[in-house]
Amino acid sequence: MKILVVEDEKKVARFIQAGLEEENYDVETVHDGEAGLQAAVDGSYDLLIVDVMLPRMNGLQLTTSYRRSGGATPILILTAKTSTEDKVSGLDSGADDYLTKPFAFAELLARIRSLLRRGALEKSTILSIGDLELDTVTHKAKRAGKTIDLTVKEYALLEFFLRNKERVLSRSIISEHIWEYNFDTGTNLIDVYVNHLRSKIESGFDGKLIHTVRGVGYALREE
């Protein structure tokens, strides 16, 4: 996933970029509104993180101009302003979410994940890798044209893998998204479900898809 951060406070921009890169996001930063708008229009991003108080063009003007140009990428506004009127202005400009400074980095990550999921849902109802397809409307999975029966949790796990193709997912991240609680290092629940899913989508088919990353977690990718 590729994210553009438009933030004039370079220390804050570096903090956000470093934290997101640790989560395996591809991050670019610019430090004024005009450069941010140009990058957003010219580039291909999955999310824009835009500070309100920017030189040359503020974040709300950037957002409005980007939407008028036809840009549809989700936008998360960052600002020190906390009044209801300020929040309404941000959302009315075309932003999808609003986070006030100072913020906990965990909350920023949660907002990002939510917006990326929403953006992915709007783009397509069919997720795929190689000859494996998952219909997110009917919840039907197929590989090489053959239907694969999945439990509710297996479906959720496969959908999460497909929305994060090529990305290494830790057991903690999988637990948080699928089971909505923090991972207990004393249980092998994640490994059990991954092995069940792996058996269903790989047994009898050509090519391994779910790869174990020793000491970290798992990644969905073609061999």
- Please report, as a single letter, which amino acid is at residue 148: I
d(CA 120, CA 129): 15
Q: Which long-range contacts (CB under 8 A, 24 or more apart) does 183-187 make?
A: none
C-alpha separations of 155 from 54, 116, 119, 185 in Å: 43, 19, 19, 23
Give pLDDT, residue 48.
Answer: 96
Residue type, 80: A
Split the chain (223 residues) into runs of 10 and give each run's mean pLDDT.
93 94 93 95 91 92 89 88 66 83 90 81 75 88 94 91 90 77 63 94 94 92 87
Nearest CA-CA partner of 116 in 58, 76, 175, 158:
76
Residues 137 and 95 in one domain: no
Please say which residue of 107, 122, 137 terminates a domain: 122
Query: Do 105 and 208 belong to one domain?
Result: no
Domain limits for position 190: 124-220
Last residue of a domain, one of 78, 98, 122: 122
109 and 40 assigned to the same domain: yes
User: What pLDDT does 182 receive?
Assistant: 53
Task: Using the 3D structure, point to which of 122, 152, 169 is the last residue of a domain.
Answer: 122
Same domain for 118 and 193, yes or no, is: no
- Tell me the two tokens of residue 179: 């089971």
Mark whether 164 and 191 lie in a shared domain.
yes
Tally of structural domains, the chain:
2
Please give the model's pTM, rounded to 2 decimal places. Answer: 0.54
Token readout for 39 is: 């990058």
Task: Identify whether residues 143 and 84 lie together within a single domain.
Answer: no
pLDDT of res. 86: 62
Q: Tell me, what's the pLDDT at 95?
A: 85
